[in-house]
Each structure stands twice: as structure tokens, then as C-alpha cells.
Structure 1
Amino acid sequence: MSTMTHETKFKSSNSNKSKGSVFTTRALVTIGLLSALSYVLMLLESPPYIGFLRLELSDIPAIIGAFQFGPMAGLVIELIKNLIKGITATKTAGVGELANFIVSAAYVVPAAIIYRRMKNKYKSFLSFGIATICLTIAGFLMNYFVTIPLYATLYGGMENVLAAATVIPGIKDKFTLILLGITPFNLVKGIFLGIIGHYTYRLLKNRL
């Protein structure tokens, strides 16, 4: 009797693990669908902020996939989304897609790791809060060392990049552009994604 109970528990445990695995057929199909949805949502973006920043919901499918199947699933969704956009519809010679992948991964992966490991009722708040901090730091470093210099090369110099942000007082160079223009945007974006991601996953997790 005890042996049967142990076997039942073992099978149940294996079944639950398979539901959260990236390598099941169902998971792969779901990740593919979420990647396609993420790409479509990436095309539905807000009007530009200081020239090249836009708010969109393409990270939500990655959050759902990462919460359900693990951080690797979210990373794959972000990669596929940006590869398709970079090949078919880039407006920045791939610079924007590279930045989007790195910054989005810095948000989705920590959020999923914390969310899946914590068991208390505050796990969503903590996971998205820490993810927002990671996104902001990654965004600062990425923009300072990679994205802004590449934009400057593409668009004829740093002066042309800074010209798009003249509406914000105090912006006079690359550092102040990122600190006063891009960083507040990323903070707002992180909070926005957290709110939408939390309620969307709550709505869909039992169906997944």
C-alpha cells in the first residue's frame, strides 16, 4: 500500500514537472504561438518618445511563457520576436531589436526566476519590482555603451540623436539623455509591464 502511494506521488510529481518543462510538445507549441503573438504586439507600438523609444506589449507573451515554462521559454520568445522583426520590419538596421532583446531579457528572466521560486502572496510584486530595477540598469548600460553610439553613427552624429530629446530640460549629452530621458521611461515601462503581466497571467495560467 505504501509502495503504491509512493509510486503515485512520484508519477504525480513527474507529471507536474512535465507541465512546466520547456521540452514537452505542448510547451514548444505554446512557446511558438506566444512568439508569434509577441511579434505582432511589437508592431502595435505607441507614438515615439524622444525619437526612438516606444511603449508596446510584446513582452507580455514572454512573461506568460517564462512564468509557465521557465526563464528559458521567455528568453526564446524574446529572441524569436526580435529575430523576425530584425529580418522583416526593422527601422533601425537591427540596433533597436538588439537593444530590445537584451533589455527585455533583463526584465523577463529575473521576474520568472523569482516568481517561480517564491511561494508567498507578494511574489508577483517582488518579481516585477526587481525585474524593473534590472531592466533599468540593463537599459542604462546598453544605451550608454551600445545603442546610443550606434544611433549616432546611423543618424549622422550625437547632435541629431540629442535633437529628438530637446523637449526635456537638462539633456545636453549622452549621459544626461540616458539619465533624464531613457531611465524614467524604462521605470514606467517596467511598472506598466508588471501590472499588465500580473493580471494577464492570473487570467491565463489555469488554461495553459
Structure 2
Amino acid sequence: MKLKTKQVVLMGMFGALAAVLMLFEVPLPFIAPSFYGLDISEVPVLVGTFAMGPVAGIVIEAVKILVKLLLKPSTTGFVGEFANFVIGCSLVVPAGLIYRRHKTKGSAVLAMAVGTILMAIAGAVLNALAMIPFYSHFMPLENILAAGAAIQPAVSSVWGLAIFCVAPFNLLKGAIVSLLTALVYKRISSLIHSADCEKCAA
């Protein structure tokens, strides 16, 4: 019961930290138009997923979105938040499933690589089907596509923008998130498990 209570607390902490990180975005104008901002909010989510499993990852993603909405109301009618939740889960859930079966460095690298690829695919599909059409209500679609074409001349349609700009953007994001997770996970995991050992010894 103590372990379950601790997991709930940890999921809340990871989710809250992720929500704060979600507020800080950096545009990558050499890959995608400036209205796409990169954040590292998936780092605490992925760390929590590796430490507690893929179900915990989903919960942390949900907490992240809820806390973010408390800190900063939605400007997209919740469409952006829903897309962020789905795209985030497409990274952490597959990664968590793979890592749970074999908790080795090689498995962790494979898990994050697979998660990154699936996130790029999910991001492209969601942008083509939902996000870009939604933003076209506020900015003419031709202007959105023109912004993409200025970076990647192959962009001539919604799917072109999703494939040639959004997918590479999420691949880079996944790589950065994976690198940061690899740098901090072992230390955080050791703190979590050492605390468990101390409780058991007591």
C-alpha cells in the first residue's frame, strides 16, 4: 500500500514538473514554422514511465495536461492539449513496454528509438488530420503551407507539411528527450529505489 501511495505521489510530481516544462517552448525555424515550439516536457514523463511502467506514463501525461491547463488555459479549444497527450503517449507507452521486458541499456536505447519513430508518425498524422485544419481557422491555409515551403520546398499540401516539417521536428524532439532522459534516469531511478530499500530495511 505504501508503494502504491508513493507511486501516486511520484506520478503527480512528474506530471507537475512536465506541465511547467511544457510552458517553455523553443522554435526550430530550420525544421518547422515558428508556430511549432519544442519543449522537453516528455523527459519527466519518460523517466516516470521507465521507473513505474507504461500505465504510469499515461497517468503522468494526463496530469501534465491537467496541470498545464491550470497554469495556462487552452488557446486551441483543447485540440492542442489532446494532440499533445496522444503524441506524448505514442512516445512513452511503446518505450515503457519495451523497457519493462528487458531493463538494460540496450533495451532503453531501443525503447526510446521506437518511441521516437512512433511519436513522429503520430505527430504527422494528428497534424494533418486535426491540428493544421484547426489552425487554418485562424491563419489562411495557404499562409501555413507557405511558411512550411519556405523551410522545405517540397511542402505543397497539408500532408506535405506534416511529413516534411512536423515529422522531422518530432524526430529531433524525440532524440533530445531521449538524450536528456538517458542522462538523468539512472540517478533518479536510484533515488526512487534506494528510498524503497530504506523503507524495507526500517
Shift of 1:87: 5.0
Count of residues paired in the alignment: 187
Q: Which TM-score applies when normalising by structure 2?
A: 0.85
- Amino-acid identity (%): 37
Contact 2:79-2:131 at 8 Å conserved across structures: yes
Contact 1:162-1:172 at 8 Å conserved across structures: yes
* Rg larger in structure: 1
Task: Give, in whole Å, the separation in 2 of the partners of 1:87 and 1:30.
Answer: 19
Matched, 1:65 2:48: yes
How do 1:72-83 residues align onto structure 2 when only pairs under 5 Å count? 72-83=55-66
Cross-structure match for 1:131: 115
Q: Secondary structure at the match of 2:27?
A: coil
| Structure 2, gaps ≥5 residues long | 193-202
Task: Return closer, same or farther for 1:48/1:91 CA change in 2, 3 Å cut-off.
Answer: farther
Task: Return closer, same or farther for 1:122/1:53 CA change in 2, 3 Å cut-off.
Answer: same
Shift of 1:59: 0.7
Task: Give, in whole Å, the separation in 2 of the partners of 1:143 and 1:201.
Answer: 30
1:18-74 deviation per Cα after TM superposition (whole angstroms, max 9, x unaligned): 85xxxx111111111111111111112213640321111111111111111111111
Q: Which TM-score applies when normalising by structure 1?
A: 0.82
Task: Determine which of 152, 156, 159 is the counterpart of 2:136.
Answer: 152
Task: Give, in whole Å, the separation in 2 of the partners of 1:47 and 1:134.
Answer: 22
Shift of 1:188: 0.8
Cross-structure match for 1:108: 92
Task: Give, in whole Å, the separation in 1 of the partners of 2:48 and 2:36.
Answer: 25
How do 1:34-49 residues align onto structure 2 when only pairs under 5 Å count? 34-47=14-27, 49=29
| Structure 1, gaps ≥5 residues long | 1-14
Matched, 1:96 2:76: no
Instruction: Kindly indicate whether structure 1 or structure 2 has the higher relative contact order, using CA contacts under 8 Å at least 6 residues apart.
Output: 2
Task: Return closer, same or farther for 1:176/1:55 CA change in 2, 3 Å cut-off.
Answer: same
Shift of 1:93: 2.9
Task: Give, in whole Å, the separation in 1 of the partners of 2:93 and 2:80.
Answer: 20
Shift of 1:177: 0.7
Q: Secondary structure at the match of 1:165?
A: helix
Matched, 1:195 2:175: no
